[in-house]
Amino acid sequence: MIITAQKPLEEILNSLSPYNSILIAGCDGCTQPPRGLKEANILAQLLGLAGKQRGKSFKFKVITVPKQCDSFLAATSLKPEIEGIDAILSLGCGVGVQTITEVLPDLIVLPAQNALFIGGENREEDVLLERCAACGDCLLEYTGGICPIARCAKHLLNGPCGGSQDGKCEVSPDRPCAWQQIIERLSKMGRLDKLEEIKPPRNWNLNLAQRKSQG
Amino acid sequence: MSSISQEVALHLNEEYCSSCSICASLCPFEAIKKDPQTGKTTLEIEKCQVCGICYSACPAQALSIGYYDADSLFRYLERARKEYDSDRLLIMCKGVAPDFKLAGELLGISKFIPLSVPCVGRLPEDLFLRTLTKLEVKKIYLLVCEEDFCRFEKGSRITGRKIRALNLLLEQFGYGEEVISLKRYTPKVKADRDKCIKCGNCVFYCPYESAKLVGSEAAKFNLDSCRGCGLCIALCPAMALELENWEGEFISASISRLASQIKEPKILIFRCQWAAFPPLDGEFSENVGIIDLPCAGRVDTLHILEALGKGIKGILIAACPEDECKLKRGSKEARRSVEALKERLGQIGLGERLHFCSVAPRYPQSFNQELERFKVEIERSQG
């Protein structure tokens, strides 16, 4: 899922300041924490309160889109709602904002979130963690289900490096060394030989250019 | 603050106590114990939740209780008998519903004397007898929580037994059959499965494993285990859930009503109904409105914001201490949500308008003290 964080309210307010009638669009897709109907309503209330303090009275309309990143769903959900709307405030990730911009080219579309990474939610520890770098050439088979591209600070393919101390990465004492984890896991599963296989150099081009894939 | 000097809601009068230890055997919270060495009964007030089960069971009347004691209840009933001009009494546990609308519907009656109590376990037999004999009440209806879901564990079950015995007695004395009728009911979650986005919040947060997500289907709820804490409802990002009797619309309507009724600077309290019990005659303060919720877990970010939008200047959330939450994690999650909202309100300079506090009914003053402190802060911030 795409992990997002709400932009500071001040920043959102500044971006909304030229507009009066605003459609706040939640996204029921993969954004985490969920940014659906409730969050859209909460944001409308918060911005309404902040607007009042600044002597500005916004008119908000609140809806949610099943998936903002789907051009068809975005268009069919939003088009019936835009009469009299000056701007759309999207609670989706950057993909959502751009998809809406494409399907409604005459409207201003503004982001309410900063998309942070592709991650997972550890509910017990109440933390969201980056788990996938969308590198385009998944190597989890060889690394025991632990991604060094997303989880090693240097994105190394042949770690651990000299900065690995007592299972921690030198970048931060809170950060586990992904390669230590990989080797421990492979040893435990009796699969350490996976790392002895000779592989051709990795094609880093895969995640450099703007990527495209057939639907 | 030292708890020793504070006023407490339950007293054990050793002079009257015969150390029969009925109270100790009934206390759901092990607050009353019989000392094996001295044989004396001792009260550990720190564990007491003021359910009143001990109070209603003590044959020596050695226990006195600060809330809803039999004499205060009888005085209320004397007044209410005239005010409501009915010979039918409806006693409801607060856990069932916030008002009597549902009670009337469930029991098929419209005219009655209403009495809402924090657990029926506190009602002694003599209160029923006095009401029937002295106030010429002809019928008593009891609407109580389901036995296993009683917030005080044993209150509903003990009351059921008490009523069976009382009815037998009353029948012998010619009062007819089942003069006191008892119905059990616990509010549950209502899910609009078409709105579910399968995020899993309800599954993770439900303290009773009532919510399940299987395959690609919308979340399913097992109503047999749902205890109606409201936590999943407050945390559902799709607004797909409701709690019976405490529907979002009902709470919103209460917010609107109070926002227009109370005076400036307007203060609204969302209170867990087990954290502090309202006085029998209701609370009155010109600038304070209170909405009692089934658990702090039902405290909803959106309702807090709605209230601020309607001109409420300060919002106080009163919850039970985390380890005393009657519904496991309601208080803890409420604190988290309120803190997160406070941070967001802080971004627009309104963080001080929201305050979370934990109080327990064993200290009758603690809720008022928290409220007074908050009132002063809000009044000061309003200049």
Q: Where does residue B50 fall: left (phi above 0), alpha (psi -120 to 50 degrees), or beta otherwise?
A: left
E strand spans, B154-297: 180-184, 189-191, 211-212, 220-221, 241-243, 267-272, 288-293
The one-character DSSP state at B118 is: S
| pLDDT number for residue B5 | 62
Q: In this structure, which amino acid lies at residue B58? A: C
Q: Which residues of A touch B (CB under 8 A)?
A: 6, 8-10, 13, 28, 33-39, 41-42, 45-46, 48-50, 53, 64, 123
CA B175 to each of CA A137, B91, B133, B228, B311: distance values in angstroms, whole numbers, following the listed order: 83, 19, 10, 36, 53
pLDDT digits over B19-39, tens only? 999 999 999 999 999 998 998
Say how many CA atoms lie within 13 Å of B128 toward its Cβ. Answer: 28
| pLDDT number for residue B170 | 96
Please calculate the CA angle A75-A76-A82 and round it to the nearest 5 degrees. 70
Identify which of A26, A22, A21, A57 has the alpha carbon closest to the alpha carbon of residue A41.
A26
pLDDT digits over B100-124, tens only? 988 888 889 999 999 999 999 999 9
| Same domain assignment for residues B293 and B230 | no
Q: Which helix (H) or strand (E) holds B65?
A: strand B63-65
Would the pLDDT of B1 be above 50? no
| Same domain assignment for residues B275 and B372 | yes
| pLDDT number for residue B266 | 97
Asked whether B351 and B345 are in contact (CB, 8 A), the reply is yes
Looking only at Cα atoms, what is the longest distance across chain B? 69
Would the pLDDT of A138 be above 90? yes
d(CA A60, CA B281): 41
Please calculate the CA angle B300-B102-B69 and round it to the nearest 5 degrees. 85
In the three-class reduction of DSSP (H, G, I as helix; E, B as strand; rest coil), residue B170 is classed as helix
Across the interface, of A8, A64, A123, the residue whose CB is closest to B204 is A123
Asked whether residue B156 is assigned to any structural domain, the reply reads: yes
Question: In total, how many domains does chain B have?
Answer: 4
| pLDDT number for residue A205 | 78
ipTM of the complex: 0.92
pLDDT digits over B324-350, tens only? 999 999 999 999 999 999 999 999 999
CA B50 to each of CA A144, B143, B317, B318, B321: distance values in angstroms, whole numbers, following the listed order: 55, 20, 21, 17, 14
Instruction: Indicate yes or no: CB of B199 within 8 angstroms of CB of A8.
Output: no
| Same domain assignment for residues B42 and B149 | no
User: Which residues in chain B (307-326) have CB-CB distances under 8 A to chain A?
Assistant: 308-309
pLDDT digits over B292-308, tens only? 999 999 999 999 999 99
Q: In this structure, which amino acid lies at residue B296? A: A
Q: Which residues of A touch B302 (CB under 8 A)?
A: 38, 41-42, 45
| Same domain assignment for residues B80 and B57 | no
Q: Which residues of A touch B306 (CB under 8 A)?
A: 45
pLDDT digits over B124-162, tens only? 999 999 999 999 999 999 999 999 999 999 999 999 999
d(CA B140, CA A99): 63
Mean pLDDT over A136-148 rounds to: 94
Mean pLDDT over B206-230 rounds to: 96
Spell out the residues 6+ positions from residue B8 whose beta carbon is closer than 8 angstroms to its own: B45, B48, B66, B362, B363, B364
CA A4 to each of CA A95, A124, B97, B338: distance values in angstroms, whole numbers, following the listed order: 12, 19, 38, 20
Q: What's the pLDDT band for A203 if we cut at 50, 70, 90?
A: confident
Instruction: Indicate yes or no: CB of A45 within 8 angstroms of CB of B237.
Output: no
Task: Kindly state the tokens that stand for B60.
Answer: 């020596």
Would the pLDDT of B247 be above 90? yes
| pLDDT number for residue B280 | 84
| Same domain assignment for residues B256 and B373 | yes
Q: Which residues of A touch B348 (CB under 8 A)?
A: 9-10, 13, 46, 49-50, 53
Asked whether residue B275 is assigned to any structural domain, the reply reads: yes
How many beta-carbon contacts under 8 Å exist across A and B? 60
Q: Considering only alpha carbons, which residue of chain B is nearest residue A47?
A: B348
Burial B57-69 (b: 16+ CB within 10 A, else e): bbeeebbebbbbb
Domains and CATH numbers, chain A: 2-116 (3.40.50.2300), 134-207 (no CATH)
Would the pLDDT of A10 be above 80? yes
Range of the domain at B221: 189-243
Q: What's the pLDDT band for A109 if we cut at 50, 70, 90?
A: very high
Task: Kindly state the tokens that stand for B57.
Answer: 């069971």
Q: Which residues of A touch B349 (CB under 8 A)?
A: 53
The one-character DSSP state at B322 is: G
Q: What's the pLDDT band for B2 if we cut at 50, 70, 90?
A: very low
| Same domain assignment for residues B130 and B169 | yes
d(CA B179, CA B202): 42
The one-character DSSP state at B198 is: -
Asked whether B319 and B330 are in contact (CB, 8 A), the reply is yes
Would the pLDDT of B84 be above 90? yes
Asked whether residue B1 is assigned to any structural domain, the reply reads: no
Mean pLDDT over B191-205 rounds to: 96
Please calculate the CA angle B322-B23-B32 and round it to the nearest 5 degrees. 45
The one-character DSSP state at B277 is: P
Instruction: Indicate yes or no: CB of B348 within 8 angstroms of CB of A123.
Output: no
Across the interface, of A33, A35, A50, the residue whose CB is closest to B348 is A50
Percent of chain B with pLDDT over 90: 91
User: Cβ–Cβ contacts within 10 Å for residue B21, how many?
Assistant: 17
Q: Considering only alpha carbons, which residue of chain A is nearest residue B348?
A: A50
| DSSP codes joined into one string, A158-178 | S---TT-BTTEETTEEEEEPH
Q: In the listed set B175, B209, B243, which residue is the last one of a domain according to the structure?
A: B243
Q: In the listed set B169, B184, B199, which residue is the last one of a domain according to the structure?
A: B184
Asked whether residue B349 is assigned to any structural domain, the reply reads: yes
Instruction: Report the sign of the C-alpha dihedral through residues B371, B374, B379, B380, in that order.
Output: positive
Please calculate the CA angle B23-B26-B31 and round it to the nearest 5 degrees. 70
Instruction: Indicate yes or no: CB of A45 within 8 angstroms of CB of B347.
Output: no
| pLDDT number for residue A210 | 65
Mean pLDDT over B258-270 rounds to: 96
| pLDDT number for residue A209 | 64
pLDDT digits over B267-300, tens only? 999 999 999 998 887 777 899 999 999 999 999 9
| pLDDT number for residue A208 | 65
Instruction: Indicate yes or no: CB of A34 within 8 angstroms of CB of B237.
Output: yes
| Same domain assignment for residues B230 and B201 | yes
| pLDDT number for residue B103 | 84
Q: Which residues of A touch B195 (CB under 8 A)?
A: 37
| Same domain assignment for residues B239 and B263 | no
User: Cβ–Cβ contacts within 10 Å for residue B284, how many?
Assistant: 7
Q: What is the mean pLDDT of chain A?
A: 94
Q: In the listed set B184, B199, B230, which residue is the last one of a domain according to the structure?
A: B184
Would the pLDDT of B3 be above 60? no
Answer with the residue of higher pLDDT: B278 or A85.
A85
Instruction: Indicate yes or no: CB of B306 within 8 angstroms of CB of A45.
Output: yes
Q: Is residue B324 packed enough to be buried (19+ CB in 10 Å), middle (13-18) or exposed (0-12)?
A: middle
Across the interface, of B197, B302, B348, the residue whose CB is closest to A28 is B197
| Same domain assignment for residues B140 and B195 | no
Asked whether residue B139 is assigned to any structural domain, the reply reads: yes
Asked whether residue B5 is assigned to any structural domain, the reply reads: no
| Same domain assignment for residues B110 and B165 | yes
Q: What is the mean pLDDT of chain B?
A: 94
Is B340 at the interface with chain A, CB within 8 A? no
Asked whether A44 and A55 are in contact (CB, 8 A), the reply is no
In the three-class reduction of DSSP (H, G, I as helix; E, B as strand; rest coil), residue B113 is classed as strand
Q: Which residues of B touch A6 (CB under 8 A)?
A: 344
Asked whether A69 and A93 are in contact (CB, 8 A), the reply is yes
| pLDDT number for residue B302 | 98
Q: Which residues of A touch B344 (CB under 8 A)?
A: 6, 9, 46
Is B213 at the interface with chain A, CB within 8 A? no
Q: Considering only alpha carbons, which residue of chain A is nearest residue B303?
A: A42
| pLDDT number for residue A215 | 66
Q: Which of A31, A49, A53 to mutate to test the interface with B (most CBs of B within 10 A)?
A: A49
Q: B88 forms bridges with which residues in the sheet? A: B139
| pLDDT number for residue A9 | 97
What are φ and ψ of residue B268, in 5° steps? -120, 135
| pLDDT number for residue B158 | 96
Asked whether residue B4 is assigned to any structural domain, the reply reads: no
In the three-class reduction of DSSP (H, G, I as helix; E, B as strand; rest coil), residue B242 is classed as strand
Domain harbouring B40, CATH code: 3.30.70.20
User: What radius of gyration do chain A's Cα atoms show?
Assistant: 22
Instruction: Indicate yes or no: CB of B302 within 8 angstroms of CB of A42.
Output: yes
| Same domain assignment for residues B233 and B260 | no
Q: What's the pLDDT band for B8 if we cut at 50, 70, 90?
A: very high
Q: Which residues of B touch A50 (CB under 8 A)?
A: 348
| DSSP codes joined into one string, chain A | -EEEEEPPHHHHHHHHTT-SEEEEEEE-SS-BS-BSHHHHHHHHHHHHHHHHHTT---EEEEEEES-TT-HHHHHHHHGGG-TT--EEEE-S-HHHHHHHHHHSTTSEEEE-EEEEEEEEEETTTTEEEEEE---SS--TTTTTT--HHHHSTT--SS---TT-BTTEETTEEEEEPHHHHHHHHHHHHT-GGGGGS--PPP-GGGGTSPP----
User: Which residues in chain B (344-383) have CB-CB distances under 8 A to chain A?
Assistant: 344-345, 347-350
| Same domain assignment for residues B32 and B132 | no
Percent of chain A with pLDDT over 70: 96
Q: Considering only alpha carbons, which residue of chain B is nearest residue A48?
A: B309
Instruction: Indicate yes or no: CB of B237 within 8 angstroms of CB of A8.
Output: no
